Amino acid sequence: MKTITVRYFAMFREHAGLDEETLTIDASTAADVFRATRERHGSAEPTGHCKVAINDVMANWESPINDGDTVLLFPPVAGG
Amino acid sequence: MMATPYCCFHPLPVADMIELTTSIIDPDELRKTLFDPGAGAYSSFEGWIRNENEGQAVLRLEYEAYVPLAISEGENILAEAKQRFPHLHAHCVHRTGLLEIGDCAVWVGVSSPHRDEAFQACRYIIDQLKVRLPIWKKEHYVDGHSGWVNCERCAKSA
Which residue positions in chain B have pLDDT lower than 70? 1-14, 151-158
Compute the nearest-CA separation of B134 from chain A (Å). Answer: 6
> Which chain A residue shows the shortest CA-CA distance from B72?
A57
Residue by residue, DSSP assigns A4-59 as: EEEEE-HHHHHHHTSSEEEEEE--SBHHHHHHHHHHHHT----STT-EEEETTEEE
Q: Domain holding B127: CATH number?
A: 3.90.1170.40
Q: B151 CA to chain A: closest CA distance, Å?
A: 6
Please tell me the distance from the alpha carbon of residue B118 to that of residue B65, in angstroms, as a whole number: 27
Closest CA to B105 of B148, B28, B52, B46: B46
User: Do A14 and A79 meet the contact criterion of CB atoms below 8 Å apart?
Assistant: no
Per residue in B11-29, pLDDT tens?
455 579 999 999 999 999 9
B71 and chain A in contact, CB less than 8 A? no
Residues in CB range of A47: below 8 A, 6 or more apart? A31, A34, A61
Contact B150 A72 (CB under 8 A): no
Q: What is the pTM of this model?
A: 0.87
Let me know if residue B116 belongs to a domain.
yes
pLDDT tens digit sequence for B120-135: 999 999 999 999 999 9
**Backbone angles phi and psi of A38, in degrees to 5:** -65, -40
Give how far B48 is from chain A: nearest CA, Å: 8
Residues B148, A75: C-beta atoms closer than 8 Å: yes
Query: How far is residue B115's CA from residue A24's CA, in Å, rounded to a whole number?
Result: 55
Question: Would you place residue A42 in the very low, low, confident or very high pLDDT band (cuts 50, 70, 90)?
Answer: confident
The confidence band for A43, taking pLDDT boundaries of 50, 70 and 90, is confident
Type of residue found at A2: K
* ipTM confidence score: 0.91
What is the amino acid identity at position A68?
G
Of the options 3.40.50.720, 2.40.10.120, 3.90.950.10, 3.10.20.30, the CATH number for the domain spanning A2-74: 3.10.20.30
Q: Domain total for chain B? A: 1
* Residue B63, phi-psi category: left (phi > 0), alpha (psi -120 to 50), beta (remainder): beta
Gap between the Cα atoms of B109 and B126, Å rounded: 10
CB spacing of A78 vs B150 below 8 angstroms = yes
Percentage of residues of chain A with pLDDT beyond 70: 98
Q: What are phi and psi of A69, to 5 degrees?
A: -65, 155
Domain presence at residue B4: no
